[in-house]
Structure 1
């Protein structure tokens, strides 16, 4: 069976362009290393490593200016599978995943694998159940797809309003983590750092929309990967003589496990629904690294995997990315790249946690009097690390800041300051990429599904793009205000967001493709029920009424949304024959993009009326 035809030609010089970017980025880092060796002031080094990459991203975004809707909303449908997969892998959990998960691995060990497994499973489910069919339909946003799939303007508006909430939570989390990394460059107020990131996002993306985002976020994702892989590879060579820490961290973990047993770190047996994920600020090393189910109970482990699976598979800031690929085959291929690159990143942050924990283990297992090295005092002066008690320190007496473990490893390895700033710049790049992805998706929803949501006929190009650019700026500004006004743990914000997305959207999206009987009434009921029940479960969990963590809210909301979707659909009249034919067309990979065909028909009708 033939796959859908390519809608545009991929630029054959893309590899050259991004090769030039990587060369410039590496050259900047090497130049800063040379300047550091020559004794140039630290403030100059910070300025170069902070503003230099941001200037690269802004130039790429501005150079991708677009004046056509297909370019602004779908990057002309010419983004290759690798670049789409690269950005999907980076923006799934974003800087929050890189930073907070590294600290979680460091503090609670393998219990943090529930989030990693959930993310990988989410990409697999997206590739099998959703992405190829969403690409065949070709809608620019998830609400646009749902509205047109069920011929319901009300559903389109409801979906837009519901999905705005988790997207704002993700943006607020990313802006807070990005601001935290920016403070490593300059001791500026966090509010100023947040607004600076918001300004960079708007300036980078407003010119070309999805086209600007496709190429600027690819550069940001490359920079984030380089910043993540280079320092840990150097540490791997120092500790194990191998530059592959993902493979060489095993022997280090075995030796560290024996030291943890000698230090008396406890083996914890928590309740089945326990979910004691480390929060912001200083926290003790809770348990042995390799012991499973110490901070996260077995049932909670499964629930978080299912929550991440459903939330990432149906995420409205991830799924529309596949609409920019040249065809259905490339959409499937992009999810393969996303799964591979996401797995590499997660293996790397686990290695960072192991090596950083090994450095601390070496201190407490040394023979004779414990003498803290200079790097330890430097981290303690920054408030990243503290020691409880006055006697000989043990592993359990260390308190470490979860969100600073990733950036502390280059300091512990006594690397040049330029590599510390490289790691911090990678976190900023990841935050810009993820926050930009969500801001653009939310801006498109506000413009296409809220402002113009009562009409299927596409608006005139000029006003349509102006409204979209204003909506992008509005979404980024509101998220910045939320990040300042509601200082909640970024990791918790992301877990709430994926719980809300999975409970409200995942059942409806899957059934809209695989169950022809589903109608608009069932879709509205399912989204509203899943969202409402999950919100109530989050509030009850935060208030301590349920005795379970609020991150487990989707355990109630997801089945409630699925049951409501099916029950209401069966209790109301079935869909029309035209909608049944639409479902059949969605399932066939060959043929014209359905959304583009419908918009062309709408423009033709409008021309006939005028």
Structure 2
């Protein structure tokens, strides 16, 4: 069978599996819709959490980020995994013991205020919508390539699939669908990595292959070969740090606390049977996530090396060293059709010159070769994982497996995010504040309508993203870090924190982070509205927008602390509630 037939079979088969699961586990009550009936086991919940977590950013964009940033992408690996340690130690068991459907419900009860609950809903929607943009971008990239349609058409197909199984099944359907999606995506990510590691280094484990010598007998290490190939063309070294230590620290911290503050991740720990299961779920989730995250650096490095050596076929500067455009491989032509890879023959020699024209030193050298600019005018980072098996000429079934995995990763997280938005609107706004007497049937219908509206908004924004998937997701983490995490942490560990402090803190942290992102990134739906585009010299203390969530969290905490000290303390029943959440019953009696 040819590659396209394999793709239709694997992607179509996985869709059929998801839809069957959604129908079989259809939500029949609000309890099923919001928290899957509260009866999910820790291993199953850990696997579902891993799928919920390992989005298009992890599967599609993480390795692409590493491929082009190298060492400088390490904060994403550390931050996105380290956040689960914070969840296990500081939040998951306490929030599960409280026994709520949603994060805003906890905030509203803990801070005895519907205003606090409303502000939490706003923060949740802003962070979740930003996050889901990245997922829809990933959906469009995956569908665009493997169904051979335009990027925008790919997004619309993804919207339709999510609509069917997420709106129908709610949390119950999403949970069991995500277990299936995890199995698909983890095989799809690791199997090609094993093949390519064997090709390049002869070592089957990609984690070890990354630090091994090339299989060609040269004795050169893979990373050494990669550094040579890219620096010869004016690109930054793969293994050399670029950003300041402060910026790396702030980005890692922002991603960690952003992870611990993401509503669609936290809500997963409301689905288990008991408090101990919540902590176990985090451990299992971290284990399942680590399988992919320890493989991603090898995938990124190997993908970049394969891409560069495909285009640059010989020594730099020699005419024979550049690939003839007319002889470009089939995968190149296919990705050109998506618009995510583009070539422009600037010197009319019919060959592909791919180099860093922004490097003044190499640009001068390149002009001596008759090169008139970088001719790979578009190389979207999000294509690297999906194109890697094709570049390496792996079997058709492996390429198709990657297609199914990329789609599974994007859809699983999109569904979780949309459910978080839907439950915030239907349960926290409608049921808890605007219409308390609404029937369970009508509340369930409202939740499905809210999710439908969220899918439409997410689809539109996914077609007009402000950056590549992992970059957009990093911004979402900053928003969650600056608005939600501090108020949850203080809500559990500070009896003195009151509603006035929580409300002021959330608004201050969110406003500061949104303002910083607006200044340097612009509004998501109006390209070119950033005030200082690509001007890192204007960054506060050299901190990039993706790292500012940690600063926003500090602003949130400081404002909340100061306001709480000049306003009345929480009522005694609230302090008793915190004591009950934090201290086990037997210990409290003793």
The TM-score normalised by the length of structure 1 is 0.81
Q: Show the counterpart of 1:587.
A: 582
1:540 aligns with 2:519: yes
TM superposition shift of 1:541: 2.2
Query: Which of residues 309, 318, 325 in structure 1 aligns to 2:272?
Result: 325
Indicate the larger mover: 446-455 or 140-149.
446-455
**1:259, 1:216 → 2: CA distance?**
41
1:88 aligns with 2:37: no
TM superposition shift of 1:286: 3.1
Q: Secondary structure at the match of 1:436?
A: helix
**1:590, 1:285 → 2: CA distance?**
63
Unpaired runs of at least 5, structure 1: 1-34, 37-41, 267-283, 592-610
TM superposition shift of 1:458: 7.2
Indicate the larger mover: 547-556 or 102-111.
547-556
The alpha-carbon distance between structure 1 residues 361 and 469, as it changes in their structure 2 partners (threshold 3 A), is closer
Per-residue CA deviation, residues 501-556 of structure 1 (Å, 9 max, x unaligned), is 11011111100000000111111111111111111111222322871232233243
1:570 aligns with 2:565: yes
1:313 aligns with 2:274: no
In the TM superposition, what are the counterparts of 1:240-255 in structure 2 within 5 Å?
240-252=201-213, 255=221
**1:184, 1:360 → 2: CA distance?**
17
1:148 aligns with 2:109: yes
The alpha-carbon distance between structure 1 residues 454 and 332, as it changes in their structure 2 partners (threshold 3 A), is same
Q: Secondary structure at the match of 1:286?
A: coil
Query: Which of residues 225, 229, 236 in structure 2 aligns to 1:259?
Result: 225
TM superposition shift of 1:59: 0.9
**1:132, 1:520 → 2: CA distance?**
23
The alpha-carbon distance between structure 1 residues 532 and 394, as it changes in their structure 2 partners (threshold 3 A), is closer
TM superposition shift of 1:244: 1.5
1:559 aligns with 2:550: no
**2:234, 2:9 → 1: CA distance?**
35
**1:43, 1:245 → 2: CA distance?**
27
Query: Which of residues 117, 123, 136 in structure 2 aligns to 1:162?
Result: 123
Q: Show the counterpart of 2:84.
A: 123
Contact 1:181 1:428 in 2 (8 A): yes
In the TM superposition, what are the counterparts of 1:10-49 in structure 2 within 5 Å?
35-36=1-2, 43-49=4-10
Indicate the larger mover: 45-54 or 371-380.
371-380
TM superposition shift of 1:494: 1.2
- Please provide the CA RMSD for this pair: 2.8
Q: Show the counterpart of 2:527.
A: none
Contact 1:175 1:480 in 2 (8 A): yes
**1:261, 1:489 → 2: CA distance?**
24
Query: Which of residues 114, 125, 141 in structure 2 aligns to 1:180?
Result: 141
**2:397, 2:585 → 1: CA distance?**
51
In the TM superposition, what are the counterparts of 1:190-589 in structure 2 within 5 Å?
190-252=151-213, 255-260=221-226, 262=228, 265=231, 286-291=235-240, 293-294=241-242, 296-360=243-307, 370=321, 377-381=329-333, 382-383=335-336, 384=341, 400-454=379-433, 459-486=438-465, 488-542=467-521, 543-544=531-532, 547-548=538-539, 549-589=544-584
Per-residue CA deviation, residues 194-232 of structure 1 (Å, 9 max, x unaligned), is 222122112102233111011011111211111111111
**2:228, 2:157 → 1: CA distance?**
48
TM superposition shift of 1:130: 0.4
Indicate the larger mover: 576-585 or 486-495.
486-495
**2:229, 2:14 → 1: CA distance?**
43
Contact 1:256 1:361 in 2 (8 A): no
Indicate the larger mover: 509-518 or 320-329.
320-329
**1:346, 1:551 → 2: CA distance?**
20
Aligned residues: 533
**2:239, 2:493 → 1: CA distance?**
40
Indicate the larger mover: 559-568 or 460-469.
460-469
**1:388, 1:102 → 2: CA distance?**
30
Indicate the larger mover: 310-319 or 448-457.
448-457
TM superposition shift of 1:82: 1.9
Contact 1:503 1:534 in 2 (8 A): yes
Per-residue CA deviation, residues 571-604 of structure 1 (Å, 9 max, x unaligned), is 100011100110011113459xxxxxxxxxxxxx
The TM-score normalised by the length of structure 2 is 0.84
Contact 2:125 2:421 in 1 (8 A): yes
Contact 2:323 2:352 in 1 (8 A): no
Contact 2:261 2:484 in 1 (8 A): yes
